[in-house]
Amino acid sequence: MNVLARNNVKVKGEGAQPMVFSHGFGCDQNMWRFVAPAFEQDYRTVLFDHVGAGGSELAAYDRNRYATLDGYADDVLRICHELRLEQTVFVGHSVSAMVGVLAAIKEPERFARLVLIGPSPCYINDGEYVGGFSREDILQLLESLDDNYLGWSSTMAPVIMGNPDRPELGSELTNSFCRMDPDIAKQFAKVTFLSDHRADLPKVKTPSLVLQCSNDVIAGDAVGEYVCRQLPAGQLVRLKATGHCPNLSAPEETIAAMKPFLGS
């Protein structure tokens, strides 16, 4: 199957340098609609859906291939190969931040910059490392998701989004979660929340920007600081935006934080 059709790839923009946008769990490329257009004049923007999300080809989902985040990183690289992308700026939100890290480790010559929005290499607390959750918390979360995915989505999406004074944002994320194939979503959640990519961060040669929101229940401040410390060429910018999805809740601030890094 053609990778561009499989991942519902959309290419826009007038610039020569490519910028690939990769969405988080339960989302699709529509989550970039307020951010990506700001870069179309200067970049060749590439948006896609992970297999199982949005307009991707559900029949292409393979539980073995996507049993780790490496399967998703390989998809990113296949898209880059198909479109012959070089000196790529990769913009990854949430779990896709680690997808970008893995892709950049595998083919460092293909990436010029990484923008990591709300990244977490490991969600589970481990000794002095603060991931934000105990192992029991994560197992309970996954059990709840397994028992009633739609109910879990309705409860958790607004919490993940934050911004309770703007309930329409939580509703949009809820609807996005509910559109995803439940069986695929359940496995993707397990792969996401049980992953541990702390040892991969020091291997990243690509200059990387970490965008950290305040009051992020999924990837808190300590996680953002950890990621930046472990990246050999990492920069940390703390946003005033709250919650886990500044690409929706604070797109102007997100764009403004990215542009100086990309121009440096």
Concerning whether 81 is annotated as a catalytic residue, the answer is: no
**Active-site pick, 28, 96, 244, 249:** 244
**Active-site pick, 56, 176, 216, 249:** 216
Per the DSSP assignment, residues forming a β-bridge with 209 are 115, 235
Concerning whether 216 is annotated as a catalytic residue, the answer is: yes
What is the 3-state composition of the chain as percent helix, strand, coil, each rounded to the nearest 5? 50, 20, 35
Cβ-contact 27, 53 below 8 angstroms: yes
Concerning whether 23 is annotated as a catalytic residue, the answer is: no
Closest CA to 229 of 119, 91, 132, 135: 119
Cβ-contact 56, 8 below 8 angstroms: yes
Beta strand pairing call for 44-47 and 10-12? antiparallel
**What distances in angstroms separate CA 249 from CA 58, 184, 217, 253, one per listed residue?**
29, 26, 15, 9
**Active-site pick, 22, 94, 96, 153:** 94
Query: Which residues are known to be catalytic?
Result: 94, 216, 244
